[in-house]
Amino acid sequence: MKSNSYAPVFAIVVGEHSGDTLGAGLMSALAKKYPQAKFIGIGGPKMNKLGFESLFAMEELAVMGIFEVLGRIRRLLYIRKNLTQYFTRHKPDVFIGIDAPDFNLTLEEKLKTQGIKTVHYVSPSVWAWREKRIFKIARATNMVLSLLPFEKEFYDKHNVPCTFVGHPLADDIPMSSDKKSAREALCLADNKKILALMPGSRSGELSRLVEPFLQTARKLAQKEANLVFVAPMISSKRAAQFEALKADIAPELDIKIIINKTQQVIAASDCLLMASGTVTLEAALIKRPMVICYKFSALTYHLFKGFVKLKWFSLPNLLANKSLVPELLQAQVSVENIMPLLEERLYQDQSALNEAFMEIHQQLKQNASEKAAQAVITLLNSP
Q: What angle do CA 304, 310, 315 make, to 5 degrees?
A: 105
Which residues lie across from 191 on neighbouring strands? none
CA 326 to each of CA 165, 225, 312: distance values in angstroms, whole numbers, following the listed order: 28, 25, 10
**What is the fold, at CATH topology level, of the domain defined by 9-166+366-380?**
Rossmann fold (3.40.50)
The DSSP H or E segment spanning 229 is: strand 227-233
> What pLDDT is attached to residue 129?
56
Q: Per the CATH hierarchy, to which homologous superfamily does domain 179-364 belong?
A: Glycogen Phosphorylase B; (3.40.50.2000)
> What pLDDT is attached to residue 65?
45
Q: How far apart are CA 275 and CA 91, in angstroms?
A: 38
Q: What is the pLDDT of residues 268-321, one digit of tens each?
A: 999 999 999 889 999 999 999 999 999 876 666 555 665 555 677 888 998 988
How high is the mean pLDDT of the chain?
91
> What pLDDT is attached to residue 73?
81
Domain boundaries, the chain: 9-166+366-380, 179-364
Does residue 28 contact residue 128 with C-beta atoms inside 8 Å? no
Q: What is the pLDDT of residues 127-153, one digit of tens each?
A: 555 677 899 999 999 999 999 888 898
Q: How far apart are CA 50 and CA 307, in angstroms?
A: 40
Q: What is the pLDDT of residues 319-355, one digit of tens each?
A: 988 999 999 998 899 999 999 999 999 988 899 999 9
The answer, yes or no, to whether residue 99 has pLDDT greater than 80, is: yes
Closest CA to 141 of 99, 95, 76: 95
Read off the pLDDT band of 59 (50, 70, 90): confident
The answer, yes or no, to whether residue 85 has pLDDT greater than 90, is: yes
Does 179-364 match 9-166+366-380 at the fold level? yes
> What pLDDT is attached to residue 66?
46
Q: What is the pLDDT of residues 21-36, one digit of tens each?
A: 999 999 999 999 999 9
> What pLDDT is attached to residue 60?
84
The answer, yes or no, to whether residue 67 has pLDDT greater than 90, is: no
Question: Once rounded to an integer, what is the mean pLDDT over residues 74-85?
Answer: 93
The model carries a pTM of 0.79
Amino acid at the residue 304: F
Q: How far apart are CA 294 and CA 315, in angstroms?
A: 13
Alpha helices in 43-126 (DSSP H): 45-49, 66-70, 73-89, 101-112
> What pLDDT is attached to residue 106?
95
User: Which burial class, exposed, middle or buried, applies to 288 when counting CB atoms under 10 A from its CB (0-12, 13-18, 19+)?
Assistant: buried
Q: What angle do CA 6, 12, 16 make, to 5 degrees?
A: 150
Question: Once rounded to an integer, what is the mean pLDDT over residues 254-267?
Answer: 96
